[in-house]
């Protein structure tokens, strides 16, 4: 065992003394040491209930014949950090989380890891660490929140009933009383936000790739089932250690393609593009950005999930969950091993019934193509990402007039003050991985556009990124970014921009000679943040089309 390096032999007498100082009995020294990386925090509703799950993981580890050792991992709530300086830190924490898990596991020679996680950047950070370390690991995602409930069976959700409700109030569509009702009911308790936003999409993809147990990706945070999954995961990690089943045997090219297909089939978050690219990088799997688009053209969207659709995570779970989606996708899913022991095909075959009102058959899809499309053009030579599942038919093709803003706050003010009108293309730049720094999410301006009733007449493009809660014609991850002199930096107010999602085009309708002249006069701006972790991050982070990973 790896842990023998800190507990076996004469020369490890001092090490054993320190271990015994933590309370470990001598009799437990022969057992596998299982690290439990827990991202519990009172700051995030998706993580506030993890103390309960920690107990069940611990029971499972000891039942399985291991000894559990807990250590903490930080988390940032995207919803709370959004719209101010805090959002600069969200994506960069993914790298910190991966580094911290690696550091503790290597320094203490842990035999295996249970990775207790839930929200947006924490789950991919944990998976990056698992792929990098390649020691036995299992992921426990803490589960989605229940939808809020109102009169006459109305269901409330975080994005629709906070960010979009705020804009509807500003537009005079709802009054202060209704806004308060939304605020009080949008988030009724513990768990990750109820729709197919980034946290829940990543939980589903973690299960799809085989890194967590069946039902883990959809079982609700408050359920007894989630407790049982936590216990079973604790038991399972000891078995994985004994059999030396490591993440790279599971995180194969097939696993990533399966994850992409499930994301496309459900219409999940566009942030998964960044995260799957980064996890694949750590796993040593080649995964070009174009793969998402190639698979999107042959993978129908078979579910209508909130925020762009009508169903919530609780509906998906009872309809068949991830295994139900695998069953409906059939031969489009590649057989691959999982931590559970059964392969993906075996898991799909084990499903008896699927609620086809929620998870439709391939013969009756919601849309013919998957939820994400990759666009190219003279604005995005290295690619851009759009969640086409959230775009209305009327906006799949659009020409508009550029309205340029060099920061999210400037664009948000223009939208809320009514200065953005039908026919505009809002351009938000210098918000990429390097320029932001941190590639902030643009949920506030995109939700404001929807709430102001402009979702079918205004588009938004950015070198930043979007929340999984974003819907509408919003194109992000534009590469190269403005801070690197990408073409998005050269757009001027009044320029015409063409969006054609079916043809995968994003074009600035300005001739090449004019663009060359503008580029010759372009000067790189001063960094927005010049000290601390973010300044270091900006110097080392790569482009969005590579997953915004850190240079070695």
Active site residues: 467
Q: Rounded to whole angstroms, how far apart are CA atoms 478 and 487?
A: 9
Strand pairing category for 496-500 and 397-405:
antiparallel
Six-digit token pair at 86? 């805090």
271-283 helix and 253-266 helix, angle to the nearest 10 degrees: 170
Q: Rounded to whole angstroms, how far apart are CA atoms 338 and 249?
A: 9
C-alpha neighbours within 13 Å on the C-beta side of residue 444: 21
DSSP letter for 372, please.
E
**Residue whose C-alpha is closest to residue 384's, from 539, 488, 280, 261:** 488
Residue 517 near residue 390 (C-beta atoms within 8 A): no
Alpha helices for 417-480 (secondary structure H): 443-451
Residue 477 near residue 384 (C-beta atoms within 8 A): yes
- Residue 434's region, left for phi above 0, alpha for psi from -120 to 50, else beta, is alpha
- Residue 395's region, left for phi above 0, alpha for psi from -120 to 50, else beta, is alpha
Q: Rounded to whole angstroms, how far apart are CA atoms 90 and 440?
A: 8
Q: Rounded to whole angstroms, how far apart are CA atoms 90 and 69?
A: 27
Q: Rounded to whole angstroms, how far apart are CA atoms 3 and 67?
A: 11
Six-digit token pair at 27? 């009799």
Distances (CA, A) of 455 to 16, 171, 286, 306: 63, 14, 36, 16
Six-digit token pair at 415? 């939208």
Distances (CA, A) of 296 to 44, 124, 210, 374, 510: 33, 22, 21, 9, 30
Q: Assign 229 to helix, strand or coil.
A: helix
CA dihedral 303→309→312→315, nearest 10 degrees, is: -40
Q: Assign 69 to helix, strand or coil.
A: strand
Six-digit token pair at 44? 């995030």
């Amino acid at each position: 065992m790896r842990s023998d390096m800190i507990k076996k032999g004469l020369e490890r007498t001092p090490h054993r003394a320190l271990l015994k100082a933590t309370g470990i009995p001598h009799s437990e020294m022969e057992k596998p040491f299982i690290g439990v990386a827990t991202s519990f925090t009172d700051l995030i509703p998706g993580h506030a209930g993890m103390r309960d799950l920690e107990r069940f993981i611990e029971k499972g580890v000891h039942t399985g014949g291991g000894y559990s050792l807990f250590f903490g991992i930080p988390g940032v709530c995207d919803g709370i950090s959004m719209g101010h300086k805090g959002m600069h830190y969200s994506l960069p924490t993914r790298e910190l989380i991966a580094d911290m898990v690696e550091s503790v596991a290597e320094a203490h020679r842990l035999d295996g890891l249970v990775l207790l996680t839930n929200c947006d950047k924490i789950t991919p950070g944990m998976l990056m660490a698992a792929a990098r370390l390649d020691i036995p690991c299992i992921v426990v995602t803490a589960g989605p929140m229940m939808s809020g409930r109102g009169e006459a069976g109305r269901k409330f959700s975080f994005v629709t009933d906070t960010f979009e409700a705020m804009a509807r109030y500003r537009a005079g569509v709802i009054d202060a009383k209704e806004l308060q009702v939304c605020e009080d009911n949008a988030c009724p308790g513990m768990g990750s936000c109820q729709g197919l936003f980034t946290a829940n999409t990543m939980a589903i993809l973690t299960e799809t790739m085989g890194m967590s147990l069946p039902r883990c990706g959809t079982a609700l945070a408050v359920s007894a089932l989630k407790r049982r999954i936590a216990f079973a995961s604790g038991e399972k990690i000891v078995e994985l250690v004994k059999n030396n089943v490591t993440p790279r045997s599971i995180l194969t090219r097939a696993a990533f393609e399966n994850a992409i297909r499930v994301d496309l089939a459900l219409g999940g978050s566009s942030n998964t593009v960044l995260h799957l690219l980064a996890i694949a990088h750590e796993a040593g799997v080649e995964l070009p950005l174009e793969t998402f688009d190639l698979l999107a053209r042959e993978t129908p969207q078979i579910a209508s999930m909130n925020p762009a659709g009508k169903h919530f995570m609780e509906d998906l779970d009872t309809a068949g969950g991830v295994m139900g989606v695998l069953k409906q996708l059939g031969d489009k899913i590649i057989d691959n091993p999982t931590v559970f022991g059964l392969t993906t095909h075996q898991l799909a075959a084990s499903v008896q019934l699927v609620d086809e009102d929620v998870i439709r058959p391939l013969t009756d899809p919601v849309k013919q193509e998957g939820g994400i499309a990759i666009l190219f053009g003279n604005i995005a030579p290295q690619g851009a990402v759009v969640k086409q599942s959230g775009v209305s038919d009327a906006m799949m093709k659009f020409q508009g007039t550029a309205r340029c803003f060099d920061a999210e706050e400037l664009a948000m003010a223009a939208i809320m003050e009514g200065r953005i009108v039908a026919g505009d293309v809002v351009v938000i730049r210098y918000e990429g991985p390097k320029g932001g720094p941190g590639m902030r999410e643009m949920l506030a301006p995109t939700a404001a556009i929807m709430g102001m009733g402009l979702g079918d007449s205004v588009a938004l493009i950015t070198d930043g990124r979007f929340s999984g809660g974003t819907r509408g014609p919003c194109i992000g991850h534009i590469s190269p970014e403005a801070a690197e002199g990408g073409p998005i930096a050269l757009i001027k107010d009044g320029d015409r921009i063409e969006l054609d999602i079916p043809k995968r085009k994003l074009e600035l309708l300005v001739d090449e000679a004019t663009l060359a002249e503008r580029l010759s006069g372009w000067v790189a701006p001063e960094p927005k943040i010049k000290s601390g972790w973010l300044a270091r991050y900006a110097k080392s982070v790569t482009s969005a089309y590579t997953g915004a990973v850190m240079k070695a």
